[in-house]
Structure 1
Amino acid sequence: MKAIVIRSPGGPDQLTLQERPIPQVTANEVLIKVHAAGVNRPDIFQRQGKYPAPEGIVQDIPGLEVAGTVEDCGRTVTRWKPGDRVCALLPGGGYAEYAVADESHCLPIPVNVSFFEAACLPETVLTVWHNVFQRGRLISGQSFLVHGGSGGIGTTAIQLASLAGAKVYATAGTDNKCRFCEKLGAVSCINYHDRDFATELEAGTIDVLLDSIGTPYFDRNIDLLAEEGRIVFINAIGGRQAVLNIGKLMQKRLTLTGSTLRNRDSAFKAELCRAVEYHVWPWLSQGHFRPVISRIFALTQASQAHTLMESGNFIGKLVLET
């Protein structure tokens, strides 16, 4: 099979097309003929040598989510059969014509959803559901702020939080991105290059805040939180060290939490897939929720996709077609 391989840690030019053996399934795995693979920021970190795959996983083929058809099944697989349309969460190996996935980490693709759309779902939706709704405990009527609202995580978080009945706010880097976020369901989106989100929003009014920036936003995030407010960190691209005013935490009874998905065990991911299928898939099947695709690249253009992702000059998700 053809696969995109990281030759050595570095820039997008380190991605190259190679021939690799088709992976073999174990008892509880399915082999997926990949039609499309989602491109995610952790793929960039892996290419740079900052986010290695878990032990026992192919180390030099990135890709955390794919969509395609089941080609083969391990001997204990019960839910899937060859020909089924599935999307799947992977620990790596998605930038290839074939990939293996735990059967419990696969989700059915609704008939109204394309392979390209489905390839945008597993990593992104599972991340949003766990962090916003499980860790952040967002419920109807509460206020929610997501930083980076125009990216894959942001566009998904805006839609799902809106569908859940929350009052949604966002930040983004251009006026065009802000208008797009508002069309998706944000009450207001603030261009962080022109305005300070901390002064645009009223202090003490945000119930749940999803942050991927870290240090530069930390104090302002704390001030925006309402009593019993929750910050959930999913990255810290602006810095990982911050000074916490413990008095504010105690006075407002705040919760600071965060998570990563790739290193969680198989049972956790399986349970999260079940929760997403139960809660989110009806919205997907009914057309209320749709992943936002910015651009589809050929598999051979993976380096171009990484270059665009690093530039930030896009809205939604980037996808590879295999």
Structure 2
Amino acid sequence: MQFRNNFHLAKKRKQYLNKTWRDYIRFSARERSGINALLLIIAIQCICLLILQQWHLEMPRYFSEEISNTEKWQLLTAEDQNPGLNYHPESVKTFGNVRLVVEEPFPFNPNEIDNEAWQKLGMAESKIRTLRKYLNNGGKFRIKSDLMKVYGMEESLYNKLFPFILLPDSIESVSHIKKPEPEARIRILELNTSDSAALTHIKGIGPVFAGRIVKYRNRLGGFFQISQLKEVYGLSDTLFDVIKVQLEVDSNQIQKKININESGEQDLASHPYIGKKMAKLIINYRNQHQRFSGIEELRNIPLLNEENFRKLAPYLKTD
């Protein structure tokens, strides 16, 4: 009897454990959908990883990143030695699993370009060092074929670069190059004796300015220094700087001088450096002192400062 009870008790315990286990491992419909979505994401990530690894293995190797200049040169020249290698247009060469992007040649002067430019043209580092040593020691490339004088220069590279070398083909073509003619000598005009037609030959002076210069010169009586041109109406400082090197002034050519002991108020006032107010002061002083004994006596007139006196003195006389 006791054995039977023990058997039933063990059986009930087993049934309880089985039910409890099923409760733990059984999933609802919502939980099963989540698990399926997670498995799908994992599968997609695995596929992407495989694709990226494959792309990395086939990714081209570029000059500046993964191979040395020596290896680059060997690969580039290998095509000439083995025509069976695969060549692709558009400056891309494939050698086995290595794909090289080669820059197209560009116009250059071998006397002027730097080492980086030589590398872009396909020159190996050892050849660049040789070339640089040649130039540093005073050497110079005068014609295109001089480039072949560089020790180790490959003829195939030279032929490729030949159309782009900015040098004459031969010595004869150098001699035929037209030398620039020497600059024409600047024509210098004397400002007090040149008429308006002659002044138009001055660079920067047209008929309008030529006419204004002559008109102002006549009012003054002549120029005694070049800087007086700045007083001509409309003549800018920039234009003055251009024309001043093309002109000269002979102060002995001042043709009109005013006699301050004889000239009337109107004649005095017509001069640009005097005007009506100063003319009246000069006449009043002359009336008080009978006459001017010399030009220096004008310093006694009020309002006539030292700067204005020096500008005016070359145009005055007392007898």
TM-score, normalised with respect to structure 1: 0.20
Larger strand fraction of residues? 1
Larger helix fraction of residues? 2
